[in-house]
Amino acid sequence: MNLAYLHSLVPARQQLLRALGIALLPLVLAACDSGSSTGGDPSPEAPVVTPPVTEEPEPPRNTAYLDSKAGDVIKVRIEELHPTQAAIGYDQVYYKLGRWQGDLDRPTWANNPAQHLDYLNRTIGKKFDDYCEDMGGTERAQKFLTIAEAQAARLDQPTTYLCKDPLGSQTENLKTVVVGWDGNLYLTDGHHTFSSLREIPDGGPKLPVWVKVSANYSDIRDASAFWERMSKEKLVWLRDGKNQTITVEQLPTRLGLANEKEAGGMQEDRYRSLVYFTRDIAYNNGNLPEYAEFLWGDWLRRQASKGQLAKLDDYVMAPPAIPAQILAVSTLNKALKPGGSDDSYAAAVRDASLKMTALKDTDLVFENRDAAALGRIVLEADAASDSDTKTARDTLEELPRNDVKSDGSPRGAGKLWFAVNYRNCGKPAAGTCWGW
């Protein structure tokens, strides 16, 4: 290659490099100055963009009861009350529904208006007696004076009846609620009472009721922490109708019996029903801890599972058996020896009661709850006529009793009689299903 030609290219190359160096000089200087604390003004830095922090929105709270304090009495609708247990004793509710709906057209006393009115005061009138008492109004101001009054009276029409005291004024009988993390009201006592009122035709979810606040935990803003507190305070019963453990998410969303037309109802616990009918036979109901009947039910289930008590399926307690079989009388004589039927509903009550009362006061029934704390009654042979034992024996014998005396006049029927007939028939009405 011609050397002269190559040397001629050098100046052109030098000029190209010089031009590139001049063009790149500002970028080099900027890079050097950006980290320097002296010299000329630094180049402006690009703004740092921080993405916004998004927080989970808090669920909406019910603000109506956030300021409620322990001891406050508040008027609410049944639909505002949230269950803290999954199940109830359906037969306890059936007893109420059967008794509260006396037959206005019953032929038994068609020719004796005075006796018919007596019957209606014992049945329909009992609904208003119970409502006035449970809502802090003590009792009805007066009984029905005419059959027309009984026919017109409705719970959802307060002008049709009158309680002795203003509702909510006598607080000792009021059911209790806790204000929850979400501001809602969680019922800790009265699931059977309010379920019965929700099921009765003149009651329902919007019926006004009065309750007493036992605690306000709305300062606990986290659901899991709230339920942990409720569990610690023994204010929730996390067992289903079969006594199996559940989570709080599995609690019912409403009071009342489960049915196909409306979701969210409460399950049936047969042992909870059984324990209700042992009241005043095996235990007294005063001053008991929350969910005491479920604690007894758990204990009875364990006795049955160990073969120390017959299982409920060994007794005749529900259809397809006929009411006469279910309601066969069982007794305890003065020596506390069992008599009468050994397989009726009353027999199941008798046998469970004998197991319960055989405990010592210090025997544990559930965790740290002993028999004395759960109201156990001591039964004694040859007890006096004014004793708890005589009351227990009479209560057992009266459970399946019908509502007509031997002379044809009305009387208070037994709780089992109402419950069994209501389960079998529904609302009392004229005809053979209820026995008239």
* pLDDT tens profile 130-184: 999 999 999 999 999 999 999 999 999 999 999 999 999 999 999 999 999 999 9
Is 386 exposed, middle or buried (CB count within 10 Å of its CB: 0-12, 13-18, 19+)? exposed
Angle of helix 292-305 relative to helix 270-277, nearest 10 degrees, comes to 110
The Cβ-side half-sphere exposure at 18, using a 13 Å CA radius, reads: 6
Range of the domain at 385: 270-428
Name the maximum alpha-carbon separation found in the chain.
Answer: 149
- Give tens-digit pLDDT for 95-126: 999 999 999 999 999 999 999 999 999 999 99
3-state secondary structure 243-285: CCECCHHHCCCCCCECCCCCCCCEEECHHHHHHHHCECCCECC
3 Cβ partners below 8 Å, 6+ apart?
none
Q: Does residue 42 lie in a domain region?
A: no
How far is the CA of 280 from the CAs of 46, 128, 393, 396, in angstroms? 83, 23, 9, 9
Q: Does residue 23 lie in a domain region?
A: no
Split into its structural domains, the chain has a count of 2
> pLDDT class for 47, splitting at 50, 70, 90?
low
- pLDDT exceeds 90 at position 25: no
Amino acid in the structure at residue 358: A
E strand intervals along 327-376:
330-332, 338-340, 364-366, 369-370
How much is the average pLDDT of 337-366? 98
- Please choose, from the candidates 338, 343, 369, the residue with its C-alpha nearest in 3D space to the C-alpha of residue 353: 338
Give the CATH number for residue 150.
3.90.1530.10
Q: Does residue 394 lie in a domain region?
A: yes
Residue with tokens 């607080």: 171
Q: Does residue 30 lie in a domain region?
A: no
- pLDDT exceeds 50 at position 29: no
Three-state SS at 307? coil
> pLDDT class for 31, splitting at 50, 70, 90?
very low
Amino acid in the structure at residue 368: N
CA torsion angle for 282, 284, 290, 292 (degrees, to 10)? 0
- Give tens-digit pLDDT for 215-247: 999 999 999 999 999 999 999 999 999 999 999
Q: Does residue 22 lie in a domain region?
A: no
The DSSP symbol for 19 reads H
Same domain, 363 and 348: yes
Same domain, 233 and 243: yes
Same domain, 188 and 228: yes
Q: Does residue 33 lie in a domain region?
A: no
How much is the average pLDDT of 34-57? 53
Percentage of the chain exceeding pLDDT 90: 84
Same domain, 181 and 291: no
Q: In the listed set 218, 244, 268, which residue is the last one of a domain according to the structure?
A: 268
Same domain, 249 and 116: yes
Q: Does residue 16 lie in a domain region?
A: no
pLDDT for the residue numbered 18: 46
How far is the CA of 65 from the CAs of 42, 58, 84, 105, 374, in angstroms? 61, 18, 18, 44, 32
Same domain, 91 and 168: yes
pLDDT for the residue numbered 417: 98
Q: What is the β-pairing status of strands 338-340 and 364-366?
A: unpaired
Q: Could you tell me the pTM of the whole model?
A: 0.86
Q: In the listed set 251, 268, 285, which residue is the last one of a domain according to the structure?
A: 268
How much is the average pLDDT of 332-340? 97
Dist. CA 11–CA 15, nearest whole Å: 6
Dist. CA 315–CA 326, nearest whole Å: 8
pLDDT for the residue numbered 58: 67
- Please choose, from the candidates 173, 170, 175, 256, the residue with its C-alpha nearest in 3D space to the C-alpha of residue 211: 175
Same domain, 331 and 380: yes
- Give tens-digit pLDDT for 357-397: 999 999 999 999 999 999 999 999 999 999 999 999 999 99
How far is the CA of 109 from the CAs of 83, 115, 409, 429, in angstroms? 41, 6, 8, 14
Residue 428 corresponds to which tokens in the numbers above? 């009392």
User: In 1-86, which residue ranges form alpha helices assigned H by DSSP?
Assistant: 3-33
- pLDDT exceeds 90 at position 10: no
- Give tens-digit pLDDT for 244-301: 999 999 999 999 999 999 999 999 999 999 999 999 999 999 889 999 999 999 999 9
How much is the average pLDDT of 190-206? 98
The per-residue pLDDT of the chain, averaged, comes to: 90
- pLDDT exceeds 90 at position 55: no
Q: In the listed set 223, 245, 268, which residue is the last one of a domain according to the structure?
A: 268
Q: Does residue 153 lie in a domain region?
A: yes
Tell whether omega for the bond before 400 is within 30 degrees of 0, i.e. cis: no
pLDDT for the residue numbered 32: 39
